[in-house]
């Protein structure tokens, strides 16, 4: 039998081994029972078996038995898949519109997004009253922890299971925020900015469903972007709406005169609980998108009539840590211009940076997707996002499971 056939039949053989054979009910030999049943394996060996199941069959493991469901949902299962280099990457573009959640997926095969790969609209989930009103998720942020996506609104949060399609309400942030920075550091969600009344940085623990304040940001930013690289939380771009305790700055922001500080980023070491030296994007401009890929931070800046693309070496083990490098700009027409109506979502996928245009502004078409090869240094076009999830402030994230 071919290896491909073995992989296809492996999930069925695993599940079959957990079901007792009626013909062996009267067989007293414990040795033969152990030989034919995987259910007696210790959890470390069982995990080694489960991580080898094909990605398409992983959701079915949740239905086998409670033990398997517990193991597949555990951090140990995801961590082992990371160590075995068997993670699958999928782009999820999410839009909340008309009191429902729409989701479209784009699969990454072998670390690449094929030119002929198209988006697939996979989910339509209506929101009910327990999940909060649609207005609470206006300009939401989204991050992924293993296979689950956390959709964070101003005063509400939802957890979306990409395997089952279920939406579950979760604890809301302690401070109402809008246009804030969010990223996952060490399996926990960090948020900062987006709140004129507080500079608190909050951390969410998915296991305990609890938020707590872990620090105070050096600047209160609005419209910022959150990125995580090598244990550091980067709060990038946005408007600086005043320093903690600066009454004059706070008054200025209330009267509509916020300080523009769009090309800098604050850096927080989550493990040490300290803020590192502030960094500034060379060439100025306004940061419109940022993400992490291959140990670097990639930033797209707008200069009113054109765009610039930068790499910041973010791996602290690298001798080049902290250095900037200007890269090839995305292939967009220079006459397009970049105004407040043009919005981008930037996502890192292994050694790729995916740029999704989510606001039309002066562009004729919305939903353009560009892919940058970090190793080759070239841009190429990918399939446009489907019409079902365009508009409504769509957010795109990469799910690794």
Number of neighbours of residue 275 by Cβ within 10 angstroms: 18
Q: Specify the DSSP element, H or E, that contains 136.
A: none
Question: How many whole angstroms separate alpha carbon 300 and alpha carbon 308?
Answer: 6
Three-state DSSP class for 151?
A: strand
Residue 31 has a pLDDT of 43
Q: Specify the DSSP element, H or E, that contains 70.
A: helix 66-72
10-residue averages of pLDDT along the chain (401 residues):
47 51 50 56 88 86 89 89 86 81 84 83 68 71 94 92 88 95 96 94 96 96 95 92 48 43 89 95 89 95 86 94 95 53 83 84 67 95 86 83 82
Backbone torsion region of residue 49, taken as left when φ is above 0, otherwise alpha when ψ lies between -120 and 50, otherwise beta: alpha
Give the CA angle between residues 178, 184, 190 to the nearest 5°: 45
Nearest residue to 63 (alpha-carbon basis) of 55, 76, 54, 72: 72
Give the tokens for residue 291. 């993400």
CB-count exposure of residue 138 (10 Å: 0-12, 13-18, 19+) = middle
Question: What predicted TM-score, i.e. pTM, was given to this entire model?
Answer: 0.84
Nearest residue to 201 (alpha-carbon basis) of 256, 134, 275, 129: 275
Residue 363 has a pLDDT of 45
- Are 233 and 191 spatial neighbours (Cβ–Cβ below 8 Å)? no
Residue 337 has a pLDDT of 42
Task: Write down the residue that tokens 């069925």 correspond to.
Answer: 12
Residue 218 has a pLDDT of 93
Go through 174-190 and write b for each residue having 16 or more CB atoms within 10 A of its CB, e for each that does not: bbbbbbbbbbbbeebbb
Residue 23 has a pLDDT of 53
Question: How many whole angstroms separate alpha carbon 280 and alpha carbon 310?
Answer: 11
- Are 171 and 209 spatial neighbours (Cβ–Cβ below 8 Å)? yes
């Amino acid at each position: 039998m071919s290896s491909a056939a073995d992989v296809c039949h492996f999930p069925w053989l695993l599940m079959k081994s957990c079901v007792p054979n009626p013909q062996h009910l009267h067989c007293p030999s414990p040795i033969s029972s152990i030989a034919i049943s995987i259910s007696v394996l210790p959890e470390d060996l069982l995990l080694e078996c489960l991580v080898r199941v094909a990605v398409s069959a992983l959701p079915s493991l949740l239905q086998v038995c409670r033990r398997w469901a517990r193991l597949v949902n555990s951090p140990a299962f995801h961590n082992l898949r990371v160590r075995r280099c068997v993670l699958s990457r999928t782009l999820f573009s999410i839009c909340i519109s008309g009191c429902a959640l729409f989701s479209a997926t784009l699969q990454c095969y072998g670390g690449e997004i094929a030119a002929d790969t198209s988006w697939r609209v996979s989910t339509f989930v209506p929101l009910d009253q327990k999940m909060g009103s649609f207005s609470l998720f206006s300009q939401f942020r989204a991050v992924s922890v293993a296979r689950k996506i956390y959709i964070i609104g101003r005063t509400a949060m939802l957890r979306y299971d990409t395997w089952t399609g279920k939406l579950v309400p979760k604890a809301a942030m302690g401070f109402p925020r809008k246009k804030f920075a969010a990223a996952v550091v060490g399996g926990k969600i960090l948020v900062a900015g987006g709140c004129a009344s507080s500079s608190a940085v909050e951390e969410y623990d998915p296991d305990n469903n609890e938020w707590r304040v872990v620090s105070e940001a050096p600047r209160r930013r609005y419209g910022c972007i959150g990125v995580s690289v090598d244990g550091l939380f980067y709060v990038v771009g946005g408007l600086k709406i005043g320093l903690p305790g600066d009454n004059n700055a706070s008054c200025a922001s209330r009267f509509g005169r916020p300080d523009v500080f769009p090309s800098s980023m604050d850096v927080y070491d989550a493990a040490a609980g300290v803020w590192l030296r502030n960094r500034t994007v060379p060439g100025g401009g306004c940061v419109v998108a940022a993400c992490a890929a291959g140990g670097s931070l990639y930033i797209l800046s707008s200069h009113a009539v054109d765009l610039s693309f930068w790499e910041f070496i973010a791996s602290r083990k690298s001798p080049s840590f902290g250095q900037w490098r200007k890269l090839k700009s995305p292939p967009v027409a220079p006459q397009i211009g970049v105004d407040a109506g043009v919005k981008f979502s930037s996502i890192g996928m292994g050694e790729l940076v995916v740029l999704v245009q989510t606001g039309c502004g002066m562009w004729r078409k919305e939903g353009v997707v560009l892919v940058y090869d970090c190793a080759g240094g070239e841009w190429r076009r990918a399939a446009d996002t489907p019409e079902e999830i365009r508009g409504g402030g769509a957010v795109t994230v990469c799910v690794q499971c």
